[in-house]
Chains A and B, each alone.
Chain A
Amino acid sequence: MAAELNLEALREEIDKIDEVIVRLLDSRARCAYAIGRLKHELGKPIYEPQREKDVIAHVRQVNEALGGPLDGEVIARFYERIMDEMRRIQRIEAEKNAGS
């Protein structure tokens, strides 16, 4: 019984964390969107490998300091996914601008 209550409580906790994650992803996407527009103005490419490397190095560092269960590789894979999607946002924005 106690285990079931605990499971329920932890799941509620996860739901709350997810809300925060989605809000943060939303903020990140808005930034990426704004960057996409600026890149377009400046004539810079959407894909900037050095910037992506820097982002991954940065988040790995942040993660390491936390000392939790996630190792650096896991964080890098999460961020590959996130950056894939951010690139897509910028690509769609670039195509809209190219069409107008």
Chain B
Amino acid sequence: MVVVMKEGASDPQVEAVIAHLVELGMDVHRSTGASRIVLGVVGGGTVDPRLIELMDGVHEVLRITQPYKLASRTFQKEDTIITIGDLRIGGDEVIVIAGPCSAESEAQVHATAAAVKRAGAKILRGGAFKPRSSPYSFQGMGEQGLQLLREGATAHDLKLVTEVMDASQIEVIGKYADIYQVGARNMQNFTLLRELGRTRKPILLKRGIAATMEEWLLSAEYILSGGNKDVILCERGIRTFETFTRNTLDLSAIPIIKELSHLPIFVDPSHGMGRRDKVAPMARAAVAAGADGLIIEVHNDPDRALSDGAQSMFPAQFDRLMAELRIIAPAIGRSICLEPVARRGWAR
């Protein structure tokens, strides 16, 4: 922490700040400049920068360490690689998650799963609990939806990610899903995050619509500090003044998170844009910017989807997008979905 004193701060003011910091067990390095005094503060004590900023004669307090530890790149230099069976998330391969907003019927889940698998997705997405459901009552398709999603995923050799809305759903979802998704609105539901920290399944943690990178990483810290090391961060758009798109997809999160953290970062262009015709360009940009994966809404018949139809891609659009991503990924030293390429006998 660096404490910058006001120009012309008096000796007693400077001394009071130093005395307070020393009392808190910190080491203070006083630097007297031509017009200002700057105090470098290091040590193991805990200091609330806001309280120091309120002291007389203090101009500003700059924090130099991050409040999160386990999630930080300083704590772990190497990228976290999450393994689910033969799937490696956070490695060289860009992993694509695709599927419907929610499970609607057996036919819909199977048709969509087959289509996304064919295109090269590795993980099926789909909701069984509607976002507005009460945490204690099952709405949408509930557990039946989870069953359909699991069957669809297994039948097409896909892993499954689905959203957990409340701690009471952790157990039942855990029976079916490979990855728990925490939605944007739950990013700061700390009791849910704490409970998920006790599980040993990977967590896809979406960024809150008004969350800073720091708040997002602090939410990851809640899960990590519970002992669950497998957190995937997912950018899905933030609230800005722009109304043309549903949210503003903040692709700058990718290189920033890569610098601040060792956790894999995914991008959800479907929720960020809210319109299917804008999904592909942002998906391409996300891969080019270094995202470890994408989560994309695909529906076998979007126009008849019960939710999020406007942002769900047609299978043919998704297929084309995947083909484009296969050209983009190698340009930055990544691969994407090797298997279908080999199966189709395309040049490698």
Contacts and interface: CB of A to CB of B under 8 A. Distances in A.
A26 B19 CA distance: 25
B234 interface: no
Interface residues of A, number: 16
Interface size class of B (residues with CB under 8 A): 10 to 19
Given A49-B11, A49-B15, A87 B22 contact: yes
A91 B19 CA distance: 12
Contacts of A37: none
A46 interface: yes
A83 B30 CA distance: 9
A10 B31 CA distance: 30
A66 to B, nearest CB: 21
Contacts of B143: none
Interface string B1-32: 00000000001000100110011010111111
A84 interface: yes
B25 A80 contact: no
B208 to A, nearest CB: 40
A45 B30 contact: no
B19 A76 contact: no
A83 B23 CA distance: 16
Contacts of A87: 22, 27-28
Given A91-B22, A91-B25, A80 B30 contact: yes
A49 B31 CA distance: 15
A26 B23 CA distance: 25
Nearest to B22: A47
A91 B28 CA distance: 11
Contacts of B30: 80, 83-84
Interface in B65-98: none
Contacts of B25: 91, 95
A78 to B, nearest CB: 11
B40 to A, nearest CB: 8
7 contacts: A80-B29, A81-B29, A84-B27, A84-B28, A84-B29, A84-B30, A91-B25
Interface of A: 45-47, 49, 53, 73, 76-77, 80-81, 83-84, 87-88, 91, 95
